[in-house]
Amino acid sequence: RKAEEEARRGLPARTRDGHEVEIGANVNRPDQVAMALSQGAESVGLMRTEFLFLERADAPGEDEQFETYRAMLEALDGRPLIVRALDIGGDKQVPHLHLPHEENPFLGVRGARLLLRRPDLLDIQLRALYRAAKARATSGHALSIMFPMITALPEVQALRAACDRVRAELDAPPVPLGIMVEVPAAAIQADVLARHVDFFSIGTNDLTQYALAIDRQHPELAAEADSLHPAVLRLIRLTVEGAERHGRWVGVCGGIAGDPFGAALLAGLGVRELSMTPRDIPAVKDRLRASDLSALREAALRALDCETADAVRALEGTLEGGEA
């Protein structure tokens, strides 16, 4: 029984009609990789590097970061790793960086905005990442870098330029560069941004917060901050359309990727990769394996037309294979 269950976790998330969705894990430390793989992860779709900066007195230097990224790649043994550049600000405060107080940190100097104002932080991280790519170059490095909280094209261009410069300095191999789509402006302009990046990963936690104007940590409004709200789904659809126009792929690494029904709708919307908390992986894989892509596409179209989040949620009962 247990052996059967373990074997099932290792199967790909392939629908009954043969469409495969890549299943990644959100993992921040090398020592968590083995556990994620045992749950059936095929990659790490989101490594939140701000965790390297928390619960300590100072920022990790270039060598320490390099060792961590190299250890991640080693633990993954050739499987893809997407490292997200520092996403500090908003709900992620780091006291030892001594950043100025902001009245509205969620609308302030956060993510890419901070990286572009602090080239010291950005350079150290990029150097560590390109060194890790170089160290693993002979075995195929499988590393991608993505940038958080992108709002507009000039940010992407400036970050790309920083990557190109560091890569040249280190004579390192190219690394695919992606962005998080978590600001509505980025979703709406996805067709523009897609020309300039290799992939998108939608951060549905923040995209929901910014689309619905609900603080993602607000205790009273938690129930209304639903990532399956039709307005959020329409932003996801726009992102996929924009990416497809330029041959780019789209993943989702926000919490809704780990919800079996959410994962089913995202696959139906054209999302190719889902990255989630490791413990959510088995149920998501089971859900997708019990589905036909054609049915998921139909459900996604109906969800886009729903008037309310509740109406989207009610579609769950209409999907076949739901109790598999």
Q: Which of residues 63-122 bind ligand PEP (CB under 6 A)?
A: 87
List the one residue from 43, 68, 144, 204 that touches ligand PEP (CB under 6 A): 204
Any idea what the Cα angle at residue 79 is, between residues 76 and 80, rounded to 5°? Answer: 110
Provide CB contacts within 8 A for 314, sequence distance 6+.
none
**CA gap 177, 171 in Å, rounded:** 17
Q: Which of residues 258-287 bind ligand PEP (CB under 6 A)?
A: none
- Residue 253 touches which member of ligand PEP, Mg ion, none, C-beta under 5-8 Å by kind: ligand PEP
Query: Which residues lie near Mg ion (CB under 5 A)?
Result: 182, 203, 206
**CA gap 199, 177 in Å, rounded:** 7
Does residue 43 bind ligand PEP (CB under 6 A)?
A: no
Residues in binding contact with ligand PEP, number by CB under 6 A: 10
Which listed range, 56-64, 159-167, 171-179, 201-209, lies at the site for ligand PEP (CB under 6 A)?
201-209
Does residue 206 bind ligand PEP (CB under 6 A)?
A: yes
Measured from the CB atom, is 134 or 258 closer to ligand PEP? Answer: 258
Residue 130 CB burial class (10 angstroms; 0-12, 13-18, ≥19): buried
What are the φ and ψ backbone dihedral angles of 20, each rounded to 5 degrees?
-105, 135
Measured from the CB atom, is 83 or 172 closer to ligand PEP? Answer: 83
Which listed range, 74-82, 129-137, 185-193, 197-205, lies at the site for ligand PEP (CB under 6 A)?
197-205
**CA gap 278, 251 in Å, rounded:** 16
Q: Which of residues 133-172 bind ligand PEP (CB under 6 A)?
A: none
**CA gap 283, 120 in Å, rounded:** 42
What DSSP line would sit under 133-186, residue for residue? Answer: HHHTGGG---EEEEESS--SHHHHHHHHHHHHHHHHHHTPPP--EEEEE-SHHH
Measured from the CB atom, is 22 or 87 closer to ligand PEP? Answer: 87
* Min dist. Cβ of residue 195 to ligand PEP (A): 23
